Amino acid sequence: MEFYSYELCNRKYYRGYKLLLIMKLVVFFLLAGLMQVNATGYAQQVTLSEKNAKIAKIFTAIRKQTGFDILCDADIIKNAHPVTLNVKNSNLKNVLEKCFEGQQVTYSIVQNIIVVRKAADALIKPAISKITVKGKVTDTKGQPLAGVTVRLKGTATAVNTDNDGNYAITIPDASGVLVFAYIGFTTQEIAVNGQTSIDVQLKETVTALNEVVVMAYGTQSAKEVVGAVATLKALDIADQPTGTFAERLEGKLPGVQLAQATGRPGQGMDLRIRGAASFTSSVQPLFVVDGIPMIGAVDNINNINPDEIENFSVLKDASATALYGSRAANGVVIITTKRGKAGVHKVDFSSYYGMASLMKELTPPVMNATQLATYMKGFYEDKALYEGYTGGIPDVYQNPEQYGTGTDWFDVLTRTGATRNYSLSFSTATDKSALSVIGGYFDQDGIVLNTGYKRFSLRVNGDFTLNKNIKVGVNVAPSMQLEHNNRQGSSFNVDGQRAIFASASMIPTMGSPYNPDGSLALGIKGFTNLFAWANPLRQLLEVSDDANRLRLLASAFSEIKFLKDFTFKTSGSVDLAQLQRKRFIPSTALGGFNDVPVEFPGPGNDSALGESVVDNGNTWLNENLLSFKKSFANHSLEVLAGFTAQRYTRYWSTLVGRDFPDNNVHYLNAATRFTTSNSYAEAWSMLSVLGRVSYSYKDKYFVQGSLRRDGSSRFGANNRWGTFPSIGASWIASDEPFMKNIRQVSLLKLRASYGLTGQNEIGNYTQTPVIANSNYVFSNGLASGKVQSSLGNADLAWERNKQFDAGIDIGLLKNRINVTYDYYNKFTDGLLFTVPVPQSSGYSSVQDNLGDIRQWGHEFTISTKNLVHDFKWNTGFNISFNRNIVKRIGLNNVSFADRPGTTLSEFTDWRTLVGQPIGQFYGYVFDGVFMTQAEADKGPKYYGASSTTLSRAGTVRYKDLNGDNKITFPEDMTVIGDPNPDFIFGLSNDFRYKSFDLNITLSGTYGNDLYNGMEESTYNLDGVFNGPPELLQRWRSESNPGNGRVPRTLANTTAAYRANQTLWVHDASHLTINNIALGYTFNKFRSMPYIKNLRLYATVQNAFIFTSYPGNPEVSSSGLNSVSQGQDFGAYPLARTFTFGLNLGL
């Protein structure tokens, strides 16, 4: 054992004092042995004011003011807790008592020497018997709380409760105080007073202001947040058994619109924050998983097992998103995965089995076989009556009743699909390390025959504390996704099997997929005038199209604390993705619309087709962050500075072969002809510096400023760098003295922010001139060469969002009622636009930043605890109003169709023009059918491409908007619908009674329109497709005029009916009961104590959809493209799924 003076073991001082110290020790031990302690030194006066000071600093001050030497064990100096003192002219005894409180030391004063020893040292006082206190910690419902910190007050002695809420802590004596602390619950202090068993019930914290919110590059407590952030714990949506996490979010988050545009297995949902809009760029938000931005052409966020996720943070305003700079224009979704929690050791297993079936009420109405044959019989009758047709009625239509109802193609092509999911997780943690391992297997059979999706996933998250200043961690998440026949064509963006399923509403229902001998027919044909079709059932069963995605997300970090208030964190991550697609279409499964395959084809386009695609995308990211955090008096300051570097590379190649010798040989080396071979590579990189300053005063006034500067290879040389600042402030008014007497208000917080964010998803080489292959004449022949095929633009810059946000958070009745309101106003300028250039330049157009949009909106959220006793009932409701208006288009504000630079026509579905919301539907206004020739003669005439009018009795009538008695383009076309909803909403109710729980989640939209492109096709009056039963109510004669909505079948007049018009635009407002879940939880198993809990549950997904739209009201064949959204040309159908599952905790 070594003793040193107050100079803290500094050897240069020690050597000089060695003899003196020995002498003093001798004196001390003599006096101590005689139990004669001189206490006269207690009269010394001391003045000190220190906060979290090292004990060495306190010793120095005491020696200077009193002249006393201090002798102590070197370990005491090393292991002592920081000391906070504020005394003035206090006697030395009081100062020493406060200094040593909780330090587990004792002291004595001998003459002018203060001797400090460990409390257990027999020289100072007799050894004290240690005691062990045991107990259990539960919540107010009696449920055990795992991971509660139980600490002896004033010391470092602490333990955590286990999975059952049990703890055992050994303390030096029976007079201490135990502190019980747990996030989300009120901390309790209980005096031991000799007790060896103490059970504690913790109450939930009345306010949620201390909850941790994951933000850009760090975390904040809810009270510190100045921006618009919506958070959701995965635990709150765990009762929704879905294959992708996005499906669990629908209706839960204000300002977030989720649409299930397709029922394709493994497909997520389209997600848009605050109605994000752009002319050409993506409107999807940036997803960040454990700090790694999800990017790349082969990116698929669905590789994440929902059971891996801990919580979501949706960053909506500029203050919250600006630190992501040029990628934050559409908002940011931060996903945090599960990690080990101190003191918690557990194993969890979950599994469910589901049965999915077609939502028949969402399939388009079609004529059965008798109805279709009747329609075709009438088609030929009218043809003979009005067109001079003399061929008679074809035999196949002479007796319509012979067919009965015929073939229901929707039934033929679909099935009940099974879904299986298994997830096993293990987590453990101590004060030195934490580990979480989660493995998952998901297998979904599509409801369309021979389609499906599988996912294998593994995630390992580890955190390790090397010492009190150094922490390291690692995240590794490999995954594999297998898609079987989910795609069609060579495009990976086409909804899988969309075209085949869409054909079910157009194929003749008199036909059969089987030959008389039971074999699969090649095609559906033989019905006069009706188009022949390849057999869709054969196509589904015989086509082999498998896409395999391999992905590895991995990161590692090191965090070093130094100089007390500083922390430096460096991290590196990689995102390695590979897609391999193998497709083979035998000759018997080729064809489609009016194209029946040949059974024994020779070489050519009727032969089998094989394709191989490889798509690799790799990303690396390095981030270096330096933070400073300090609190003093009523002030708190936090500063963050960082530097990041990122690079993405991609390589893609494809090879298509034909003329296979046999339909059973699927490998490309068997092909004798290759029709397509192509490959390309692309890359981009970005360097960034960032900073954030957060300041608070009295924990109720908060100010935060941030700045990011991005340099990207995607932009022109003159605008390569962009700067994205933000400022935000908040005030917790409920903490003011004048609010204390208003007991009904438990929280009142005001927020405001303004900032600038950017959009960099414009393509990698838009700013660069493109060189293409070209031939030229040389020596009387053609020679191969290169030519510049497009203009570059060195001034191409970011699309910028300038956004203001103001919000208020209110808690009432001890937060039983919580209300949040946000208003935002966003101006987006510099939208990419295709600008025409003079033909003399040799080019047609160039890309430039010449578009502006203003967006604004309101968001309301209310959550209530309606009943809080044995029967509990919680409700959450949110509603969002988003608006946009186009302010500038190009140089001359010329409107465009489905993309910038495209011209309008009478068959153009959309129109974007200044002064209107983006992507409006465009067309004629339907005004019924001319019932008589007299009406046709008097009414406005439609000419189309003809020089003579096509209008006559029984033809379509449109409104004459310009009053010239002619229906002409563009004079009589106008905005006929808006795909943007007036508002979106979500509602959830959670009921709990003892061990039973019931959750019902709803969501919907109001005021949005949908353009039904399938109706535009199936209401074909030329007798070539099947169609809806309403076609039987068409105009036949002046005495049999039909229902006034469907014109006649007169040749050369039907095209007018298929023009863009209001009949094809439907109100797509809807209310969806997304999920109904009923569960029962078993908490105790006396015969199997290793089982901590077991929950059994049953759910219904897509239980009901209430809408007037004749199909899926959330479909959008063009995805989230702002200028061409809300169109239905068929999609993989939605399913209603019944699921049974269990969650087991060990």
Q: Which tens digits make up the pLDDT trace of 20-46?
A: 444 444 334 433 443 333 444 555 788
Residues 880, 1004: contact at Cβ < 8 Å? no
The residue that leads in pLDDT, 3 or 701, is 701
Between 1061 and 297, where is the model more confident? 1061
Q: Give the span between the Cα atoms of 1079 and 238, in whole angstroms.
A: 12
Preceding amide of 970 cis, omega within 30: yes
pLDDT, tens digit, 9 for 90 and up, residues 296-306? 544 467 778 89
Statement: residue 490 has pLDDT above 80: no
| Cα-Cα-Cα-Cα dihedral sign, residues 896, 898, 904, 906 | negative
The angle formed by the CA atoms of residues 1004, 1005 and 1009, to the nearest 5 degrees, is 135
Check residue 111 and give its pLDDT: 66
**Residue 467: Cβ within 10 Å count:** 8
Sorted by where each begins, the domain ranges of the chain are: 3-118, 131-201, 897-1146
Residue 7 has pLDDT above 70, yes or no: no
> In CATH, what number does 131-201 get?
2.60.40.4130
Confidence of residue 1135 (pLDDT cuts 50, 70, 90): very high
Which of 431-445, 476-490, 1033-1047 comes out lowest in average pLDDT? 476-490
Q: Is the pLDDT of residue 456 over 50?
A: yes
pLDDT given for residue 1085 in this prediction: 75
pLDDT band at 557 (very low <50, low <70, confident <90, very high): very high
CATH number of 3-118: 3.55.50.30
Label the pairing between strands 188-191 and 177-181: antiparallel
pTM for this prediction: 0.82
Dist. CA 61–CA 55, nearest whole Å: 10
Question: Per mean pLDDT, which of 86-95, 110-119, 576-585 is the most reliable?
Answer: 576-585
| Residue 5: pLDDT over 80 | no
Q: What tens digit of pLDDT does each residue of 608-656 get?
A: 889 999 999 999 999 999 999 999 889 999 999 999 999 999 999 999 9
Name the H helices within 260-368: 318-321
pLDDT for 256 equals: 92
- Angstrom distance (rounded) from CA 942 to CA 946: 9
Question: pLDDT per residue over 941-952, tens digit each?
Answer: 998 877 788 899
Residue range 979-986: mean pLDDT, rounded: 95
pLDDT at 864 over 50: yes
More confident residue, 370 or 78: 370
Residue 255, Ramachandran bin (φ over 0: left; ψ between -120 and 50: alpha; else beta): left
What is the tens place of the pLDDT at every residue in 761-789?
888 888 887 777 777 777 777 788 887 77
What is the Cα–Cα distance from 317 to 274, expressed in whole angstroms?
A: 10
Find the mean pLDDT for residues 268-291: 86
The predicted structure's pLDDT at residue 2: 41
Q: What is the pLDDT of residues 151-201, one digit of tens each?
A: 888 787 888 888 788 999 999 888 889 999 887 788 899 998 888 899 999
Instruction: Give the pLDDT band (50/70/90) at residue 208.
Output: low
Residue 596 structure tokens: 């029946």
Burial class (CB in 10 A: 0-12, 13-18, 19+), 243: buried
Query: Rounded to a whole number, what is the distance in angstroms from the first to the last CA of the chain?
Result: 47
pLDDT, position 95: 82
d(CA 156, CA 172): 12
| Choice among 208-212, 1057-1061, 1123-1127 with the minimum mean pLDDT | 208-212
**What contacts 78, CB < 8 A, 6 or more positions away?**
none
Cα 957 to Cα 936: distance, rounded to the nearest angstrom: 8
Distance CA 243, CA 230 (A): 23
Residue 77 has pLDDT above 60, yes or no: yes
Please give the mean pLDDT across all residues of the chain. 87
What region does 388 belong to: left with phi over 0, alpha with psi -120 to 50, or beta? left
Bridge partners of residue 442, in order along the sequence: 421, 455
Give the mean model confidence (pLDDT) for residues 964-990: 94
C-alpha triplet 492, 498, 502: angle, nearest 5°? 160
Say which residue, 761 or 136, is predicted with more confidence: 136
Output the pLDDT for position 598.
75
What confidence tier does 16 reach under pLDDT thresholds 50, 70, 90?
very low
pLDDT digits (tens, 9 = 90+) for 400-455: 999 999 999 999 999 999 999 999 999 998 888 999 999 999 999 999 999 999 99
Q: Is the CB of residue 240 less than 8 Å from the CB of residue 846?
A: no
Rounded Cα gap, residues 187 and 707, in angstroms: 37
Tokens of 541: 């069963």
pLDDT band of 885, cuts 50, 70, 90? very high
Percentage of residues in the chain with pLDDT exceeding 90?
54
